[in-house]
Amino acid sequence: MLCVSFLRLALIIFGKIVNITMISRAYSTVWVSNSSIGDFLKCRRLYYLRNVYKDPITNHKINLINPHLALGQAVHEVLESLSELGVEVRFKDSLIEKFEKTWLNFSGELGGFKSDNEEKDFKLRGLNMVKRVMDSPGPLLNKALKLRDKNLKFPLPRFKLSEEEEIILCGKVDWLEYIEKDDSVRIIDFKTGANDEAPDSLQLPIYCLLVKNCQKREVTGISYWYLDRDNTPKNLDIPDLDKAKEEILSLALQIKDLRKKGIYKCLKGGCYACEPFEKIIKGDAKLVGHSGYQDIYILKD
């Protein structure tokens, strides 16, 4: 175990040396998403640790799990799976049973829970959310579409935000309701947190751009569904997509410039956003699982 730690440290040091020699290297194509832009806006160092850095041994990206993320992922996994089913059989099986099975993937350390009581509280919240949907399925009883990328190696929907700058916007839309009367679509984003999404959030504008550019139908509705408290989705105004594209492209170009320069410093010398991820690199976190090409950690007590 000690040898592995020394090896990781040596590879990290080597990686930093290599990075210094390659600072002038330009990244020809830059991928951005709602989450990566959010990381960038919080902290430059956080952006690096979550979107650029790879563990020198596994070559995987790193991420942290905590109870709030575990709750969100479990509920989303159950609800999003319904869009793969026909309307007539979508609610044939109990969502409670599906949630119970899904929760096994997030139980204990897998979900970052520090005690049985903490896990019970979060699990109960999740059960109440899926029960709410079972009792008031609303738009989930209607036909749904799935945005898919033709490239199976990269399943997330994507399009070139800028051909000239080689900026690609990608993302995953929770639910795309098909409106038969006018052959249009409505975006629904599931929310499992206690607070409302910020008014200036770029999430739905990004989703609108993705849906507009990745399929042929017009977007005629967007909404958040706060599953902790609302029986129906909360409708919002469709944003000005030209202004949204301009704002997102501006941020993407800043990210591209950051990657080109290769200087990923926290402007505060360490902050609430980046410090937990720094602990992973320092060995103060425990590996609890994997998700695709990500290594999932929890912080040590």
The alpha helices in 22-94, defined as continuous H runs, are 34-42, 44-51, 67-80
Residue 121's CB is within 10 A of a number of other CB atoms, namely 13
Nearest to 34 by CA among 187, 211, 204: 204
Where does residue 112 rank: exposed (0-12), middle (13-18), buried (19+ CB within 10 A)? buried
Q: How many CA atoms lie within 13 A of 26 on its CB side?
A: 8
- Over residues 249-281, the pLDDT tens digits come to 999 999 999 999 999 999 999 999 999 999 999
Nearest to 54 by CA among 3, 19, 25: 19
Q: Give the rounded percent of residues in the chain with a pLDDT score beyond 90.
A: 85
Nearest to 248 by CA among 38, 61, 42: 38
Q: What is the dihedral of CA 145, 146, 147, 149, to 10 degrees?
A: -140
Phi, psi of 24 (to 5 degrees): -80, -5
**Torsion over CA: 86, 88, 93, 96 (sign):** positive
- Over residues 29-81, the pLDDT tens digits come to 999 999 999 999 999 999 999 999 999 999 999 999 999 999 999 999 999 99
Q: What are the DSSP E strand ranges found in the chain?
A: 30-32, 61-64, 144-145, 158-162, 167-170, 175-179, 184-191, 219-226, 234-236, 285-291, 294-299
Q: Give the rounded percent of residues in the chain with a pLDDT score beyond 70.
A: 89
pLDDT at 155: 67
Total residues belonging to the chain: 301
Q: Is 33 helix (H, G, I), strand (E, B) or coil?
A: coil
Measured CA to CA, the distance from residue 132 to residue 59 in angstroms comes to 41
- Over residues 165-174, the pLDDT tens digits come to 999 999 999 9
Q: What is the pTM of this model?
A: 0.88
Q: What is the mean pLDDT of the chain?
A: 91
- Over residues 188-224, the pLDDT tens digits come to 999 999 999 999 999 999 999 999 999 999 999 999 9
pLDDT exceeds cutoff 70 at 120? yes
pLDDT at 156: 82
Confidence bin at 21 (pLDDT 50/70/90)? very low
